[in-house]
Chains A and B, each alone.
Chain A
């Protein structure tokens, strides 16, 4: 059973459009993370989110990105104006008391 689910599984968008990627935890967790993986490359940290606030973000996470937990359940990653280089797999992960991170199935974002 997945720890988190992500929707959509695949998103195709035009350059310059906004996209929202969603992460739905199976049970109540306080720690969430977003990572991305460009095809064939390593996994890169984007942002961590604790108790409904950003706790850390990477240099990749610029003003084009935002995260929120609008309804206290779903956890979203928004990219305001997508670029070609945003094409990647985006993984949501949840953390627990042991700090181990469990990854969701991912959303493949394709920017045309």
Chain B
């Protein structure tokens, strides 16, 4: 059974700073996803990482995948207030079932 753990669960940072969210998973996962969720809203797909060494970037967010370490990271560069949200990673097993981590609640302070 796939287990997904994120850390930290809560992150408060200042605008302009950099930080990394970590996502560890327990067994082989076909793909690794990152989603963003604003309060009371749905999940917005950010990245899909397909293979070892995959790196994807969109604006101030960059995601990477190390399948040997069973680790994905979401790096935030020069944070801005608009990035405040909860970020989830999810691993996919056969059948396309997504197993989510607990989420990292990010607050970016001015």
Contacts from A to B (Cβ < 8 Å): 31, 33, 35, 41-45, 48, 55-56, 58, 91, 95, 98-106
Contact = CB atoms under 8 A, between A and B. Distances in A.
A95 B41 CA distance: 19
B68 interface: no
- Interface of chain A, main secondary structure: strand
23 contacts: A31-B96, A35-B98, A42-B100, A42-B101, A43-B43, A43-B98, A45-B98, A45-B99, A55-B95, A56-B95, A91-B42, A91-B43, A99-B31, A99-B96, A100-B48, A102-B45, A103-B35, A103-B42, A103-B43, A103-B45, A105-B41, A105-B42, A106-B42
A104 to B, nearest CB: 6
B88 A42 contact: yes
Q: Which secondary structure dominates where chain B touches chain A?
A: strand
B92 interface: yes
Q: Which one of B43, B101, B102 has the highest number of Cβ atoms from chain A below 10 Å of its Cβ?
A: B43
Contact of B100 (A44, A48, A99): A44
